[in-house]
Amino acid sequence: MAVFLLRRLLLAIPMVLGVATLVFLVLEVAPGDATARYAAPGVAPEALEQMRRNMGLDRPAGERYLRWMGAMLRGDFGVSLSRNEPVREVLAQTLPNTLLLSATALILAFGGGILLGTLQAVRAGGVVDRGISITTLLFYSMPSFWLALMLILVFSVQARNVWDWPFWFPASGMVSLDHGFLGSREQILDRIRHLTLPSVSLALVLAAGIARYMRASLLEVLSLDWVRTARAKGIPEWRVVVEHAMRNALGPVATLFGLYLPVLFSGTVVIETVFAWPGMGKLMVDSIFQRDTPVVLAAAFLFALLVIVGNLVADLLHALLDPRIRPAARAR
């Protein structure tokens, strides 16, 4: 196990280096440099040249690359141009919010997807199966921003103003304006209400894919010999499915975790922007409009880092749960 852990960690290091290199390459290929922001009719070319020297932009590409990599690995992302704060601090303020949103969405997506997929597999070929199939494919084809807007339309705009429903969900932000004046129970409730629509619209798109996978995986397991044996022994059907088959069907579904992390974070960027959720995705989009390149690049790097770390954790968990993986890793 220790060998496996070490191996997996060692594999992650070149990935991190590669991702930092990719960001550097994108920056290199792009037209203009960091001084372009200050170029204006009144600014002397000599001043820009001086600035370039101060920032080390006149150095050869190799040296700049090494400096860049060193800075990235130390977590030194420079200073935000629009906020005059170290990029690191700006990111540190938004990262927890992004993690909260994506973790909630991930739990909802896997919970819902596994449940739906199981329902489909148990009733394979029936009306329920086909109905869920079509519904999930419909959600799978929806652009997340549009789904989010439609949820806002129904559950906050119309429900509150037109239909006068007894419940509605806020459409933006993490907390209400009067959050500070609420009691501690109301505060938690307020946060959950704000979290509902963003996480649901993120989860719906993901759950659709997970349900498809779960259905196929469970169908395959249910056709195996030992499932027939279990049934022949007289074990109730629900126990056969839940205790015997599902446990074995979940293995392949768990690998989806790694595959879906990039999809999840792509969705987070959009959903945070739509719901004005103060996370890294919204920060990234806002920074583009403020021409704040250091923040954009650092956020991109951090998102990729999150994916790599998430994959690492997923692999380790998988190895802990499934002993078959470990010897295979050693043999490699």
Residue 213 CB, nearest distance to other proteins (Å)?
14
The two tokens of residue 246 are 């599902």
Non-local CB neighbours of 193 within 8 Å, separated by 6+ positions: 169, 170
Q: Which whole-number Å values give the CA distances from 297 to 68, 96, 218, 308, in the listed order?
A: 12, 19, 41, 17
Residues 121-180 that bind other proteins (CB under 8 A): 137-138, 140-146, 149-150, 152-153, 157-158, 161
The 8-class DSSP code of residue 64 comes to: H
Cβ atoms of 293 and 244 within 8 Å: the answer is no
Please identify, using beta-carbon distances, which residue of 16 and 235 lies nearer to other proteins: 16
Which among 109-117, 191-199, 244-252, 280-288 is the span making contact with other proteins, rule CB under 8 A? 280-288
Do 277 and 198 meet the contact criterion of CB atoms below 8 Å apart?
yes
* Cα angle for residues 107, 267, 109 (degrees, 5° grid): 20
Q: Is 72 in the site for other proteins (CB under 8 A)?
A: no
Q: Report the distance separating Cα 28 and Cα 287, nearest Å.
A: 19
Q: What are phi and psi of 63, to 5 degrees?
A: -65, -45
> Site residues for other proteins, window 235-264 (CB under 8 A)?
261-264
Long-range own/partner contacts, residues 154-162 (CB < 8 A, 24 or more apart): 155/197, 156/197
Q: How far is the CB of 226 from other proteins (least distance, A)?
A: 22
In the set 31, 62, 125, 180, which binds other proteins (CB under 8 A)?
Answer: 31
Q: Of residues 30, 57, 66, 320, which one binds other proteins by CB under 8 A?
A: 30
Residue span binding other proteins (CB under 8 A) among the ranges 18-26, 112-120, 233-241, 242-250: 18-26
Q: Which helix (H) or strand (E) holds 257?
A: helix 246-274
- Is residue 98 part of the contact set for other proteins (CB under 8 A)? no
From first CA to last CA, the distance across the chain in angstroms is 14
- In angstroms, what is the minimal distance from the CB of 52 to other proteins? 17
Among 118, 199, 217, 293, binds other proteins (CB under 8 A): 293
By CB under 8 A, residue 308 contacts other proteins: yes
Longest dimension (CA), the chain: 88
CA dist., res. 316 & res. 111, Å (int) = 21
Cα 147 from Cα 104, distance rounded (Å): 18
Binding window for other proteins (CB under 8 A); candidates: 60-68, 71-79, 181-189, 290-298: 290-298
Assign 79 to helix, strand or coil. Answer: strand
Residues within window 310-329 making contact with other proteins, judged by CB under 8 A: none
Among 27, 219, 314, 329, the residue binding other proteins under the rule CB under 8 A is 27
The answer to whether residue 57 forms part of the interface with other proteins (CB under 8 A) is no
**Count of positions on this chain that bind other proteins (CB under 8 A):** 54
Scanning 26-34, 49-57, 58-66, 118-126 for contacts with other proteins by CB under 8 A, the matching segment is 26-34
Q: Does 78 bind other proteins (CB under 8 A)?
A: no
Q: Closer to other proteins at the Cβ: 15 or 182?
A: 15
Nearest residue to 146 via CA among 270, 14, 309, 13:
270
User: Of 120 and 273, which has the nearer Cβ to other proteins?
Assistant: 273
- Name the β-bridge partners of 79: 86
Region binding other proteins by CB under 8 A among candidate stretches 15-23, 219-227, 230-238, 322-330 = 15-23
Tokens coding 292: 């704040």
> Interface with other proteins by CB under 8 A: which residues?
14-15, 18-19, 21-23, 26-27, 30-32, 137-138, 140-146, 149-150, 152-153, 157-158, 161, 261-270, 273, 281, 284-285, 287-289, 293, 296-297, 299-300, 303-304, 307-308
